[in-house]
Structure 1
């Protein structure tokens, strides 16, 4: 497979038009069409469907597009490594920090430490939901992430970091503060929780199911701003990891209590691809991030890494 043809193919799919792609690539459209035909011959599959509105990838085209992105990314990393063989580390490193995690609070310390040790590395922070972040890593579009998950997923490698207790967050207008609350008592309140594809929702659902408890999700909310507003208005309660719960108390005019009987915990893990190697800059950032996680404290207690 010719790398130049893969590059052309990626651009055609991104733009959705042979004509526009040819303009961007500064190549005549007939020549670009010939390159595409050659690529289709090499893989023995039709890769694009031509319509009046442009082109769309076939199922085979979608698969090749994903692999082609990863291949081109690895080629760029290889060239970058060669270019800086005798120079300081430089380049871009993308890091996902799932919202509402203890790791999210490491963004600024990580930025400062990377700038101190490797000033030519440029970081990109993506704060999104765990499922999306893991998919970006699997597709070779992000280097690493810290998310609530530790499942065995093909294409991903998880390094367990810590476990956080889950806390019940309740507005003062609904109930008086307590330090601990049984899961059965939590089930009596109207709850705001994320969608079912969110790993935190799965942890909460599993806890209720294993306890044989019925509970009511009043509304599924992903936005932290909306969640804070809903709690501040006294419309319901939520369940969050300890670090996220503490961060929202003031904005939501609420108190927090550890969920007990049973204790409910979420596993925070470092996530990376199990087949795409990290670039040298990404390896350096990974080492710094894991070091910061190891030194981080929660409630003035040393963070204990697991695994």
Structure 2
């Protein structure tokens, strides 16, 4: 088994066709196919099913990808760190929950790419649980997530406590939204009978919101459940509904005046953001810099972000 064969194998898994994989690896298609065939012979198992739609990994292929991807990432990281010290090089792969993606990613990427043009960056968004799994498996170098209640077998670094606010459409000055005060308690929100749109119960943000409601003996009953943040914001802008989101996720819309913010005062709704990475796979200098820049931008967008962590509500019994 050769190092280049593993590189070809990973490229074929990720690209799905010999044509795209060969282009990515800058070799001709027959050469890549021959190396994959040799690799299958060496491991004694078929790694791909050849279909009209492309190369589909078998169970053995998926297992091999899972085992070798972290090793190849470690090699790439080590190689980048051993390059000349006059610059930052290499590739990094970062995961973010959706509200961070919407709130600060573009600014961070723009600033980072101008400072470190020789670093390529891959960013994936998703649920907290899925991002934890991908960091654990080595498919991501690090991720910024909602802090889960359960202990993690990962390195965890506190970033910021983000305020969550009620938002309504600023253009809707009459009807249901006209009677929503600038600040209110969670119980007062329920009493307004304002239609809510919230994420589904499998979403980390919904779990945080529900935990605060349960601590007050309140059950939230949203009219709509959407996990798509962009669609949720558009629905609030255009309809007489409201939602609860971290301020960072809608700071641009608030600045532009298309949304109106309402502070929830009792209880104060916050979600704790943390960065996670694998304890046995130290972050490369490039990944450390990118995560630090993301964290700094999150703190800038979060009023009071430098304050001491606020207490989290105890789960209802």
- 1:245, distance to aligned residue in structure 2 (A): 5.0
Equivalent pairs, count: 297
2:181 maps to 1:178: yes
**Structure 2 residues without counterparts, runs of 5 or longer:** 311-317
Counterpart in the other structure of 2:237: 232
For residue 35 of structure 1, the aligned residue among 16, 36, 39 is 39
Q: TM-score, normalised by structure 2?
A: 0.73
For residue 126 of structure 2, the aligned residue among 108, 119, 129 is 129
**C-alpha distance in 2, partners of 1:24/1:133?**
35
- 1:200, distance to aligned residue in structure 2 (A): 0.7
Which whole-Å deviations, capped at 9, do the CAs of 1:134-161 have from their partners, x for residues lacking one? 4543443433333323454656432112
- 1:239, distance to aligned residue in structure 2 (A): 0.7
Matches within 5 A, 1:275-294: 275-290=280-295, 292=296
Counterpart in the other structure of 2:314: none
**Structure 1 residues without counterparts, runs of 5 or longer:** none
Counterpart in the other structure of 2:73: 73
Counterpart in the other structure of 1:6: 6
CA contact (8 A) 1:18 1:33 kept: no
Counterpart in the other structure of 2:162: 164
Task: State the SS of the aligned residue for 2:307.
Answer: coil
For residue 274 of structure 2, the aligned residue among 269, 273, 295 is 269
- 1:76, distance to aligned residue in structure 2 (A): 2.1
- 1:208, distance to aligned residue in structure 2 (A): 2.9
Cα RMSD of the aligned pairs, angstroms, is 3.8
Q: TM-score, normalised by structure 1?
A: 0.75
Higher strand share: 1
> For structure 1, which segment, 191-200 or 107-116, has the greater mean C-alpha deviation from structure 2 after superposition?
107-116
2:63 maps to 1:57: no
For residue 193 of structure 1, the aligned residue among 198, 221, 225 is 198
**C-alpha distance in 2, partners of 1:28/1:296?**
48
Shift in CA distance, 21/251, structure 1 to aligned 2, threshold 3 Å? same
Task: State the SS of the aligned residue for 1:92.
Answer: strand
CA contact (8 A) 1:168 1:238 kept: yes
Counterpart in the other structure of 2:307: 304
CA contact (8 A) 2:70 2:138 kept: yes
